[in-house]
Amino acid sequence: MMQRHQCLAVLARHITDEIVVATYSSAFEWLELGERSLNYFSVGAMGLDSSHALGLALGRPDRRVICLQGDGSLLMNLGALVTIAAAAPKNLVHFVVQNGTYEANGSHPIPNKDVDFAAMARAAGFAHVHDFADLKNFEQQAGHVIKQAGPVFATLRVEPSKPLRYDYPKLYDPARRAALKAELVSR
């Protein structure tokens, strides 16, 4: 099985000028890969990262938007799948990191760790749906996945990670939000 930091490192090799939206564990591990002005870290918004990504995708159809969401976070706002599919933004790619836990809240298990999020996204009406459990397969497909016309959904099946240190003041630094705003206004 894959590890989230491995998947994010693979993904980072393909990210150039896309807006990346993330919360909690995915946000912390994404930030460890390097600072970039087009990161949007949702403040205290478990479950709303996909909704924020949708808003950015609709507001900036000229930009590709990548959402990095945990499975526990998606469960907090499962209706977002239907909303995203109905809005059908061509520039939105929604990754769900599935590790079977509410990791940011103490790694408590989600109600059904074997839930098939890809099937849910397919049923909701996403244009393209992927499900990855093998790192080599993801490495081969990642570039293709983020370039498909959306909305695109991909599950990344990963092992629960070691406990992370959550430095929220660093993650939610107002300068980071100001840099994102400046970047979006300038282009």
Q: What pLDDT, on a 0 to 100 scale, did the predictor assign at position 14?
A: 96
Task: Supply angle C-alpha 3, 91, 52, rounded to 5.
Answer: 70
Please spell the DSSP secondary structure of the chain, one letter per residue. Answer: -B-HHHHHHHHHTT-SS-EEEE-HHHHHHHHHT---TTEEE-TT-TTTHHHHHHHHHHH-TTS-EEEEEEHHHHHHTTTHHHHHHHH--TTEEEEEEE-SEEGGGT-EEPS-TT--HHHHHHHHT-SEEEEE--HHHHHHHHHHHHHSSS-EEEEEEBPPPPPPP--HHHHT-HHHHHHHHHHHHH-
Four-point Cα dihedral 161, 165, 171, 173, nearest 10:
180
- CB burial of residue 178 (10 Å; 0-12, 13-18, 19+): exposed
| Residue 118: pLDDT band with limits 50, 70, 90 | very high
| 90: number of Cβ within 10 Å | 13
Domains in the chain, CATH or no CATH each: 4-186 (3.40.50.970)
Mean pLDDT score of the chain: 89
> Which residue would you say has higher pLDDT here, 187 or 156?
156
Q: What pLDDT, on a 0 to 100 scale, did the predictor assign at position 46?
A: 76
Distance CA 95, CA 76 (A): 15
The structure's pTM equals 0.92
Among residues 73, 70, 42, the alpha carbon closest in space to that of 55 is found at 42
| Residue 104: pLDDT band with limits 50, 70, 90 | low
Of 40-49, 89-98, 158-167, which one has max mean pLDDT? Answer: 89-98
Distance CA 59, CA 64 (A): 11
Q: What is the pLDDT of residues 124-156, one digit of tens each?
A: 999 999 999 999 999 999 999 999 999 999 999
